[in-house]
Amino acid sequence: MSKSQPGRTVIEASWRRSQMSGLAPDDRPDVAVTDTGAADPLLDAARPVLQRAADELTDTGTALLLVDHECQLVSRVASGVAIERTLLGLGATTGAVFAEDVVGTTALGTPAEIRSGVTVNGTEHYLEQFKKLSCFGRPIVHPATRRLAGIICLTEISPTSNPLSAPFVNRLVAGIEDRLLDRSRAEHRAVIEAFSRAAPRRDAAVAAIGDDLQLTNSLAAALLSPADFGTLGMLVSEHGTRADPVLTLSSGVTVRVVVERVPGVGRAAIFRLHPTPSATPFRAVPIPTPRSSPAATAITGEPGTGRSRAARAQAGPHVLADVSDGMLTGNRLDLVALLARVREESATLVVDDADMLDDSSVHLLRKAITNSSPDTPPLVVVTGPVSTARPAIKALVAACPRRTDLPPLRQRSGDIVALAHDFLAQTDPRLELSAAAADALASAEWPGNLAELAVVAHAAAAATTARASRLVDLDDLPPQYRAVTRAARLGGLEQAERQAIIDALEASDNNKVRAAKALGVSRTTLYTRIRALGIRG
């Protein structure tokens, strides 16, 4: 293991990030190879630039490496046998991932983290296996969208990088960015032409989206708010994975959406919106209809999913037994007395946070359910998710004839914008979400579920009204909610994979070694997928 320490601040910070990712300098990570199909636009733009560069680099003993925005290698141009063999020995094959949390400090992964060019001389690499190389890498930023498109790196077998590497790479980046801009203009024309063919129909609401492009006919304009375009954008990557999706728009109107991809254009599509006959405003929590017959109901869900509110609405006239509140105030709940009280008052007993009861109280509650008679008062018990509950709580929930499981907000990504709009309306019904703000909200993790979304929406509403505006923009959101994560751009299968990894991490207390073992993958593969799927922590 090398005892050398980095001398530059940018390299020192990269080493710290590498260490926090669980890497050791003498690690030799498995080569994680992933599909690079999404990088086709970048490769198309870069190919002629790289071909010209290859001619200039003949017999120089250097190599050009091109990775996409996920640090997956999409092209390698080597100008010597020694550098070619070295790169192959390090796993530099198409699809290999060179993200900083996978292979440590390099001129491929580190520029993606710092969003600027960087030289990495031999011993400045974090992993020992790369220390024979010196490189300069610079990000490629799409001129139209300002998003990271990829990174290009010039590398050589040398203790230090050639001072001419930086201007050479900078020239290549400029050429690739110019071609990306030309392609973007062509893609815009393709989207506009596809929209023009679909929009003349007066009986259908038609919208189109592309990179930094949003189009609507008059009917769609009446239905859609700026916030809804973020939700439509999420449907593009899911196209073909399910039947025509049904969405609740910010206005509360429910529509069936027919999605038609624009040929040859990555994240662009035409949308035909058909309001459903029973289109009604969305409600933040599905509330079951109160029942007249006495029966026990279990309402389960993570904190913040609206489970307490759902229980109160379910119960009608009720007596609330809040277990957590009783623990805070030191007032022990007398379940026998409460059951007698609701019997006298013909009310429903709601036991909130029932999973915080001791096992003897849970047993008493379960017995009241299983030994019920016609004069037994209705019961509603509120607990956390059954999957993580202890055996006594699982038995209690199983004893309830009726059960409602409220999904966490991260599993309701298509509803997030409509929910945020509902919370904004509580402050001012005239407030609207901008497309950028909607994108950011739709891509957030929301561990606090509806409760967290409500706090964020009310803070954004206050910031918007303070500047005398009615349009909630990205800067009105709290700072930690302004970034659009990769999770928002995943397809249906990737969303399922992402959720499986999150569940494994939660089950292992975020121990990545145990999570990898539970998932049947190597630790390197797990780190790669965590990064690719936009999983935080």
Q: Using one digit for the tens of pLDDT, what is the confidence trace for 335-350?
A: 888 888 888 888 889 9
Please, are residues 368 and 340 in contact by the beta-carbon 8 Å criterion?
Answer: no
CB atoms within 10 A of CB 25: 18
Any domain includes 244: yes
Q: What is the CATH number of the domain that holds 25?
A: 3.30.450.40
Residue with tokens 């009604």: 280
Q: Give the pLDDT of residue 192.
A: 87
Task: Say how far apart CA 382 and CA 396 lie, in whole Å.
Answer: 11
Q: What is the pLDDT of residues 192-232, one digit of tens each?
A: 888 888 877 666 789 998 876 788 887 888 888 777 887 78
pLDDT of 305 > 90? The answer is no
For the chain, give the percent of residues with pLDDT over 90.
Answer: 31
pLDDT band for position 250 (cuts 50, 70, 90): confident
pLDDT band for position 188 (cuts 50, 70, 90): confident
Q: Give the three-class secondary structure for 134.
A: strand
Top pLDDT among 277 and 400 is at 400
Work out how many domains the chain is built from and give that number: 5
Whether 163 and 14 map to the same domain: the answer is yes
Any domain includes 285: no
User: At 471, phi and psi to the nearest 5?
Assistant: -110, 115
Whether 250 and 207 map to the same domain: the answer is yes
Top pLDDT among 233 and 474 is at 474
Q: Give the pLDDT of residue 445.
A: 78
pLDDT of 69 > 50? The answer is yes
Any domain includes 429: yes
Helix axes 416-427, 449-466, angle to 10 degrees: 50
Whether 416 and 507 map to the same domain: the answer is no
Whether 143 and 65 map to the same domain: the answer is yes
Whether 216 and 238 map to the same domain: the answer is yes
Any domain includes 282: no
Any domain includes 291: no
Q: What is the pLDDT of residues 373-431, one digit of tens each?
A: 766 778 999 999 888 889 999 999 998 988 888 888 877 766 788 888 888 988 888 89
- 10 Å CB burial of residue 185 (0-12, 13-18, 19+) is exposed
Q: Give the pLDDT of residue 285.
A: 41
Whether 77 and 102 map to the same domain: the answer is yes
Strand partners, 207: 216, 271
Task: Say how far apart CA 105 and CA 122 lie, in whole Å.
Answer: 11
Whether 324 and 385 map to the same domain: the answer is yes
Whether 464 and 413 map to the same domain: the answer is yes
Pick the last residue of a domain from 183, 208, 241: 183
pLDDT of 437 > 90? The answer is no
pLDDT of 37 > 90? The answer is no
Whether 54 and 155 map to the same domain: the answer is yes
Any domain includes 189: no
Whether 346 and 438 map to the same domain: the answer is no
Whether 39 and 134 map to the same domain: the answer is yes
Q: What is the pLDDT of residues 476-522, one digit of tens each?
A: 999 888 876 555 555 555 666 777 788 788 778 778 888 888 887 77
Pick the last residue of a domain from 183, 213, 247: 183
Q: Give the pLDDT of residue 487.
A: 54
Q: What is the CATH number of the domain that holds 413?
A: 1.10.8.60
Task: Say how far apart CA 515 and CA 390 lie, in whole Å.
Answer: 21
Instruction: State pTM to two decimals.
Output: 0.49
167 Cβ neighbours under 8 A, 6+ residues apart: none
User: At 152, phi and psi to the nearest 5?
Assistant: -120, 140
Whether 110 and 178 map to the same domain: the answer is yes
Instruction: Determine the structural domain holding residue 348 and report its residue range.
Output: 296-405
Beta sheet of 269-275, edge-to-edge order: 213-216, 205-210, 269-275, 254-261, 246-248
